[in-house]
Chains A and B, each alone.
Chain A
């Protein structure tokens, strides 16, 4: 739903009239942050603890269902800035980014050269080679072949680039999974251009706020759809929450004509944007993700008591095909009362016992007070919307950032409007009276 909220925002600031309907009584669908805590228990079909306040005040909890951070220099941040939604939000930098090694230990992903030299991740000579690689990436300019050092970014596969810098398998794992944030090793044979630009995004994001390249909104991810929703409302959009049993109506040619609610009232439209759960018949399943939301009363061991971390467990290190991710946030993000921590462990499902696949991640957490496990299907549209004018976004994948989500959003925007999103076309409202935007600071 968050993609739909972002799209609503983009469409309304560029002059489209938007009606937004949601079956849930809250904004954001899967990207909502559930509050109070009782709602989390109910969401996962569990009985909330009665009477006592083992978990403090229920309304102090804002629990994400999917684990995502924002890359500080990534596309979602650009969209937040260009649409003006950032004014409703505050963020905190995630304290640490860690990577798991076969030895069962987690190691800090070095944040700068000094940390890189002191890192326990690799040996001395390897560190030097790694540094050379990072320098190459940093100085790389797609438009300046003189700086390519003989690397053709469109032809040379990623593994060859590693070979060129003589990086060992371990360093390749750290680079591909903890820096370039690939979910698996399928990228190895693809042109190295993407690997380079992903590494660049990591280091550019890192240089913006310091400790890690990730940002997280205060009060949880659910603030993002709410922020976009408010922006849409300000641009004249209408919101209806808590609309169960919506029915999509089509004409004889299969083109959408409107959406009918359970009272039989019909809202007419030329274009419908929705997530796969509203049109399962127009989607196909492309896999599953398993996620475990865990309530802890302590920070993650071996992270220097960091209030927020991301840990990446590269697939090779635990003999899998897909990485396992651990995302941790806590009271400093206003998502739970003091003394508590929220960890989400997730991965792409490979076997018939998905929860078991999370074990290497769960084992890093220490004692767990409460665990909510869910398996979600990943859907992709089977209809490009050309005929039906129904534009369907993709389910959230297993990545722990919003980059793939943003690509989906930008592509969907293009499919709907036939053009790329151009922030310079945003209609700044400056008419009489209350239509004035006044932004302070």
Chain B
């Protein structure tokens, strides 16, 4: 699979509205969070992806009919390692992908903890997807598909097994999230993000990070 289907990418001018959403990644270290983002945003994969540094957040868009969904994707920058993710990380997130490694039962257990953490800390309307990554390593599988699916259903999560290496289901999981996100501008968590000012060197305008301008 080539990585990205053309149909999901905005080519040239886009019609319709643009919605921007903050999406956060969660999961144990080394389950492939950054690799999923790198595959989704750049169509790349590195076998020996280093622990995440350098990415404040990356952006990528997905096209749905007349709407362009723009993801502002936040990676943990390693702050999950010593349980030091700050509340700021979850703040204003409208979507989350909780990642585990299908070859490790431990990481699945941790994923469940992250889901609980999101239900406690994040906005109540957050769309959560569970990604069983490293699906290309099926011969080392320790977490059964059915087990994860049953858990996801119980908790109303989107669920897919993914492979950042082969690109399996990577775009699909982002697309599924995009479909599930509310695209109307009223009453959702975006509103919170429209009221402040951002600082910059020149002058400051009201933030335009909200949905559907």
Cβ of B84 to closest chain A Cβ, rounded Å: 4
Q: Which residues of B contact A242 (CB under 8 A)?
A: 83
**A433 engages B38 (CB within 8 Å):** yes
B149 on the A face (CB < 8 A):
no
**Could you tell me how many residues of chain A have their Cβ less than 8 Å away from some Cβ of chain B?**
50
A218 on the B face (CB < 8 A):
yes
Interface residues of A in 181-225 (CB under 8 A from B): 208-209, 215, 218-219, 222-223
- Closest A-chain residue to B74, C-beta based? A230
**B87 engages A434 (CB within 8 Å):** no
**A434 engages B196 (CB within 8 Å):** no
- Closest B-chain residue to A227, C-beta based? B88
Cβ of B9 to closest chain A Cβ, rounded Å: 16
**A431 engages B54 (CB within 8 Å):** yes
**B195 engages A218 (CB within 8 Å):** yes
Interface residues of B in 38-95 (CB under 8 A from A): 38, 42, 44, 46, 49, 52-59, 72, 75-79, 81-84, 86-89, 91
**A90 engages B197 (CB within 8 Å):** yes
Q: Choose, from B103-111, B129-137, B152-160, B199-207, the stretch at the interface.
A: B199-207
Interface residues of A in 405-441 (CB under 8 A from B): 429, 431-441
Cβ of B90 to closest chain A Cβ, rounded Å: 11
B185 on the A face (CB < 8 A):
no
A46 on the B face (CB < 8 A):
no
Q: Decide: A238 near B56, CB < 8 A? Known: A92-B196, A209-B204, A334-B192.
A: no
**A240 engages B49 (CB within 8 Å):** no
A69 on the B face (CB < 8 A):
no
**A239 engages B82 (CB within 8 Å):** yes
Q: Which residues of B contact A332 (CB under 8 A)?
A: 195
B117 on the A face (CB < 8 A):
no
A87 on the B face (CB < 8 A):
yes
Q: Which residues of B contact A400 (CB under 8 A)?
A: none
- Closest A-chain residue to B57, C-beta based? A438
CA distance A234 to B199 in the complex (A): 20
**B78 engages A235 (CB within 8 Å):** no
Q: Choose, from A78-86, A115-123, A372-380, the stretch at the interface.
A: A78-86
Pick the contact of A93 from B54, B55, B81, B197 — CB < 8 Å?
A: B197
**A440 engages B49 (CB within 8 Å):** no
- Please indicate which of the listed interface residues B42, B44, B54 has the most CB atoms of chain A within 10 Å of its own CB: B54
A35 on the B face (CB < 8 A):
yes
Q: Which residues of B contact A86 (CB under 8 A)?
A: 198-200
Cβ of A261 to closest chain B Cβ, rounded Å: 11
**B79 engages A239 (CB within 8 Å):** yes
* Interface 1/0 per residue, A227-270 and B, CB below 8 Å: 10111011110111110000000000000000000000000000
- Closest A-chain residue to B34, C-beta based? A434
Cβ of B92 to closest chain A Cβ, rounded Å: 9
**A434 engages B54 (CB within 8 Å):** yes
**B44 engages A435 (CB within 8 Å):** no
B188 on the A face (CB < 8 A):
no
CA distance A422 to B9 in the complex (A): 40
**A435 engages B53 (CB within 8 Å):** yes
Interface residues of A in 66-88 (CB under 8 A from B): 77, 80-81, 84, 86-88
A27 on the B face (CB < 8 A):
yes
Q: Decide: A241 near B88, CB < 8 A? Known: A92-B196, A93-B197, A433-B38.
A: no
**B55 engages A434 (CB within 8 Å):** yes
- Closest B-chain residue to A20, C-beta based? B84
**B56 engages A91 (CB within 8 Å):** no
CA distance A434 to B81 in the complex (A): 18
Cβ of B6 to closest chain A Cβ, rounded Å: 22
B209 on the A face (CB < 8 A):
yes
B208 on the A face (CB < 8 A):
yes
Cβ of B80 to closest chain A Cβ, rounded Å: 10
A347 on the B face (CB < 8 A):
no
B211 on the A face (CB < 8 A):
no
**A429 engages B200 (CB within 8 Å):** no
- Closest B-chain residue to A27, C-beta based? B86
Q: Decide: A91 near B196, CB < 8 A? Known: A239-B79, A434-B52.
A: yes
Q: Which residues of A contact B121 (CB under 8 A)?
A: 59
Known: A91-B199, A229-B84, A434-B34. 16 other contacts (CB 8 A): A81-B200, A87-B56, A89-B199, A90-B196, A219-B88, A226-B86, A230-B56, A234-B55, A234-B56, A235-B53, A238-B82, A433-B42, A435-B54, A438-B55, A440-B72, A441-B209
**Nearest 8 interchain pairs by C-beta:** A90-B196, A435-B54, A233-B77, A239-B84, A429-B54, A226-B86, A226-B88, A240-B82
What are 12 inter-chain pairs, A to B, with CB distance below 8 A?
A35-B87, A88-B88, A90-B197, A91-B198, A218-B192, A226-B88, A229-B79, A242-B83, A434-B75, A435-B55, A436-B54, A436-B58
Q: Which B residues have a C-beta under 8 Å from some C-beta of A?
A: 34, 37-38, 42, 44, 46, 49, 52-59, 72, 75-79, 81-84, 86-89, 91, 121, 192-193, 195-201, 203-204, 207-209
